[in-house]
Amino acid sequence: MTRQLIRFVVVAGLVLASRPDSASAQSNPAYPVVAGSKIRVEAPTLLAGQFEGTVKEIDEQTLLIETANHSTVRVQRQAITSLDVSIGRRRQFAKGAKIGARIGVVVAVLGAKALGVASSEMGPAVANGLIGGVMYGAGIGALFKTDIWAGVPNAPAPVSSTAIRDGRVLTLASVRF
């Protein structure tokens, strides 16, 4: 009975650990950006790093974005190097279960050693710690939600040109892979 329980827990842990994190949703280009969309933008000429916000207005040249602190930012489309749109939210069951499993096993092993349990007899303690950790971790993970992001492939890459010595022109394009 104990070996079957340990096998089940190990298999369940491996399944949770190998679950992909919505990679198919992130690569699907079929999500348009419209007013009201929650977006994640990278525009290095405007701000360092990425920022998130809600599209308030959109036209051929600019996006008007309301940020989390309720300020508005007008971003030129040419300045955008990366644009993602939120296609939904998901709970963090699996991530919580993974973290809980690790903590449960560590607590079970340390508790068993403190009680003087022999290493050869720690199987049930580790299995119980793993199961308990997975259950508590999944429950805590269910309380947290994150956005699911899908890349918008037609965000224009910025191109800049500048004159250099000898009458030549240097043209630079920024491309993100």
State yes or no: pLDDT of 2 exceeds 90: no
**Residue 124 belongs to a domain:** yes
CATH number where 125 lies: 2.30.30.520
The pLDDT assigned to 47 comes to 77
Q: What is the pLDDT of residues 88-131, one digit of tens each?
A: 899 998 999 999 999 999 999 999 989 888 888 888 889 989 99
Rounded percentage of the chain residues whose pLDDT exceeds 70: 69
Q: Is residue 13 part of a domain?
A: yes
> Is residue 111 in some structural domain?
yes
Q: How confident is the model at residue 138 (pLDDT cuts 50, 70, 90)?
A: very high
What angle is formed at CA 93 by the lines to CA 101 and CA 37, rounded to 5 degrees?
145
pLDDT for the residue 20: 47
Distances (CA, A) of 113 to 36, 51, 107, 127, 132: 56, 48, 10, 15, 18
Largest CA distance in the chain: 83
Per-residue pLDDT band at 21 (split at 50, 70, 90): very low
Whether 175 is covered by a domain: the verdict is no
Instruction: Determine, yes or no, domain membership for 133.
Output: yes
Instruction: Indicate the pLDDT class of residue 12, thresholds 50, 70 and 90.
Output: low
**According to the model, what pLDDT value does residue 177 have?**
32
Q: How confident is the model at residue 10 (pLDDT cuts 50, 70, 90)?
A: low
User: How far is residue 85's CA from residue 53's CA, in Å, rounded to a whole number?
Assistant: 10
Domain annotation covers residue 146: yes
Q: Which pLDDT value is given to residue 27?
A: 41
> Is 36 within a domain?
yes
Predicted local distance difference test score (pLDDT) of residue 34 = 82
N residues, the chain: 177
Domain, as residue range, for 114? 2-150
Average pLDDT for the chain: 77
Query: Is 176 within the bounds of a domain?
Result: no
How many domains would you assign to the chain? 1
